[in-house]
Amino acid sequence: MAYLELNELRRSFGPVVALNGINVSLDQGEFLSLLGPSGCGKTTALRLVAGFDRPDSGSIVVDGKDMTRVSPNRRDMGMVFQAYSLFPNMTAEQNVEFGLRIRKNKRGARRKRVKELLELVGLEHAVKRYPHQLSGGMQQRVALARALAIEPRVLLLDEPLSALDAKVRVQLREEIRRIQTQLGITTLYVTHDQEEALSVSDHVAVMWSGRIEQMGTPSEMYSAPATPFVAEFIGTMNRLQSVVVDGERGEVEHAGTRLTVDAARGRTRGEKVMVLVRPELLVLEPSANGAAGDNTLAGEVVTHTFLGSVTRLKVQSREAELISDVATARVASLPVGQPVVAHVPNEGTRLLTLTEEPASFELDPDNP
Amino acid sequence: MRRRWIAPSAIVWLVVASAFFLIPLIATFLFSLQSLQTNKCCTSAAYSLIIHSHQFWHTIRLSFVLALETIAISLLLFVPTVYWVHLRVPRFRPVLGFMALVPFVVPPIILVVGLLNLYKGAPSWFYDKPYGFLATAYVILAFPYMFFSLDAGFRAIDVHTLTEASQNLGASWRTTLVRVILPNIRVAALGGSFLTLAIVMGEFTIASLSTFQTFPTYIQFVNETQPYEAAALSLLSFLIVWAAMLALLFVGRGRPRPVQVAATR
């Protein structure tokens, strides 16, 4: 039996369905990230687990105990909020101590625990500081220590890094993972940042429109997206709308060009599919005459975006806009305006059946 | 270190503003020092007379206790109300704001007539005693000052996040209000309390029409009969109210704890 179970959780706000029956099972000590764009229902799910809101239907079970109707102050869930939530009238030390005082722990034990936790988050030098004397990153560290102080059944993190700058964000997410692994605490993490989710989680659940689109390990989510939405949301993906022309040989046709893709083997002729190719798998080569060879698409380099060790090239082909990550050292041979051919690999390419046009969705503006 | 330059116009305005406040006080002070017999300066007889008056001490104590009672009732009544409105029913905030304006619109003379009629059948321990009837009227009178101060205080903190953080750590509603919310709106509560104190210490119409002898009615009585003592009394009342406000500030201050405006949700 799983440690944390969310069973068919539903929640509506008037006509808006925020959660449309989600199911989650998490073993003790596991780290699950709920990932999705703004308004997908991930924070609603977290608030239901914390007890700040009640579901219309469904249940929340922790360690075999039904928590659905338990008030938030009796759930023993530690939460770190998106907004800075430290009590402004208390020092870092008093903030961490607050939950222990509520539980009437003895003074000596309280002091010991507070000291341990502030050391754990690297803030032993700032115990007497008030929140306004701490940076954003330090405040969230104290908030984490405060949530851990009560030895919660489940640690809930609601986009705790979204207000921090990029460098602190990376540093702190690694610390969160280190502490979570060290303490073996079951953790539910809400984020709209896919890089964050993939880098720290044991499992990732991609949410959209109040549903879990797909749940799996970070590697599964990246390499085998189950829906067009997941494919689009996790990493960058080239999407080539195609039709199966020969299921036995694994051939599809995209914009008049035949491509052989292993994933198309066994498909029915005439089936509408979407070929998904990661930018790092799409190999570009300069083409003198613009002619395409086997399993290639012809086009022209439109833009360069420097990303450090790789440079992202945008290529305009006949029907689609392709994206390819090229080693920066190689980019000089592929200047803007250069005719190129893009090799679509046989292996590593995913195929999704197109039942309908993939619906559009909006990414969070600060995390495109 | 370079000295900060102050514009001459700023100094002129400072002098004008100081004169505006100080000249009447100085004039009152000089007037209060005149002798009743000779009409000449300078004697402290007026001050001596007032300080030795039983009525003075009785009425000032009554008004001060009434002020404290009004502050206590107002805080008990309005802090949880404004907290609840901010937390759970923010759409009612404008309604409460509108209601808070009513005491400004309704003149005290109308208010007291209405209240006297409303409480006519009330028990005598309430109707005939200043700590019952007058305190109730003063709570109504102080409502706008207390509400707008508290409202500003609650808007300066992230009520939702602080409440949820507190509850998440196991605190009950009462603990959350007393240990998390109240300390962070203390400045606002003190502001409302100062205004309430000043209002009650100076309120004349309601006390007079409901025939209670409070400090302002005593000032008015002295003013009609003893001009130099009235001037001395005015100055004393001014100093007493300021001293009371400073005492309140001192009591409610404690350690400096700047209120942090939390990030938006």
Question: What are the extents of the domains in chain A?
Answer: 4-230, 236-353
Does A82 contact B265 at a Cβ distance shorter than 8 Å?
A: yes
Contact A350, A274 (CB under 8 A): no
Contacts of B179 in chain A (CB under 8 A): 98
Residue type for position B123: P
CB-based contacts of B86-93 (< 8 A; 24+ apart in sequence)? B86/B154, B86/B155, B86/B159, B87/B159, B87/B160, B87/B163, B93/B151
Q: If you measure CA to CA, which chain B residue comes closest to A98?
A: B169
Distance between A96 CA and the closest CA of chain B, angstroms: 10
- Classify residue B183: in a domain, yes or no: yes
Provide ipTM, 2 decimals. Answer: 0.82
3-class SS of residue B89: coil
Q: What is the mean pLDDT of residues A94-116?
A: 94
Q: What is the mean pLDDT of residues A59-67?
A: 95
B176 in the same domain as B74: yes
Cβ of residue A50 closer than 8 Å to a chain B Cβ: yes
B121 in the same domain as B30: no
B174 in the same domain as B151: yes
Does A102 contact B183 at a Cβ distance shorter than 8 Å?
A: no
Does A163 contact B170 at a Cβ distance shorter than 8 Å?
A: no
Q: Which of the 8 DSSP states describes residue B260?
A: P
For chain A, the C-alpha Rg in angstroms (whole number) is: 24
Contact A205, A35 (CB under 8 A): yes
Provide the residue range defining the domain that includes B27: 8-43
Residue of B169, B172, B179 to mutate when probing chain A, most A C-beta within 10 A: B169
Confidence of residue A223 (pLDDT cuts 50, 70, 90): confident
Cβ of residue A132 closer than 8 Å to a chain B Cβ: yes
Res B264 pLDDT > 50: no
Sequence length of chain B is 265
Q: How far apart are CA A32 and CA A39, in angstroms?
A: 19
Q: How far apart are CA B65 and CA A47, in angstroms?
A: 46
Domain A4-230, CATH among 2.60.40.10, 3.90.1150.10, 3.50.50.60, 3.40.50.300: 3.40.50.300
Q: What is the mean pLDDT of residues A293-303?
A: 87
B113 in the same domain as B20: no
B82 in the same domain as B24: no
B94 in the same domain as B39: no
B141 in the same domain as B66: yes
- Classify residue B259: in a domain, yes or no: no
B65 in the same domain as B39: no
C-alpha B146, offset from chain centre? 9
Q: How far apart are CA B51 and CA B47, in angstroms?
A: 6
Which residues of chain B approach chain A closer than 8 Å at the C-beta? 157-158, 161-162, 164-172, 175, 179-180, 183-184, 257-260, 262-265
Supply the pLDDT for residue A166: 85
- Classify residue B260: in a domain, yes or no: no
Res B248 pLDDT > 80: no
Contact A282, A323 (CB under 8 A): yes
CATH code, domain carrying B139: 1.10.3720.10
- Classify residue B258: in a domain, yes or no: no
Res A76 pLDDT > 80: yes
B115 in the same domain as B225: yes
CATH architecture of A236-353: Beta Barrel (2.40)
Contacts of B189 in chain A (CB under 8 A): none
B165 in the same domain as B34: no
Q: What percent of chain B has pLDDT over 70?
A: 93
Asked which of A160-169, A250-259, B256-265 is least confident by mean pLDDT, the reply is: B256-265
Contacts of A147 in chain B (CB under 8 A): 168
Residue type for position A8: E
| pTM tops 0.90, yes or no | no
Per residue in A19-54, pLDDT (tens digit) is: 999 999 999 999 999 999 998 999 999 999 999 999
B39 in the same domain as B73: no
Per residue in A121-131, pLDDT (tens digit) is: 889 899 999 99
Residue type for position B175: T
Q: How far apart are CA A189 and CA A192, in angstroms?
A: 10
B127 in the same domain as B22: no
Q: How far apart are CA B19 and CA B24, in angstroms?
A: 8
Structural domain count of chain B: 2
- Classify residue B3: in a domain, yes or no: no
Q: If you measure CA to CA, which chain A residue comes closest to B254?
A: A89
Contacts of B184 in chain A (CB under 8 A): 87-89
- Classify residue B262: in a domain, yes or no: no
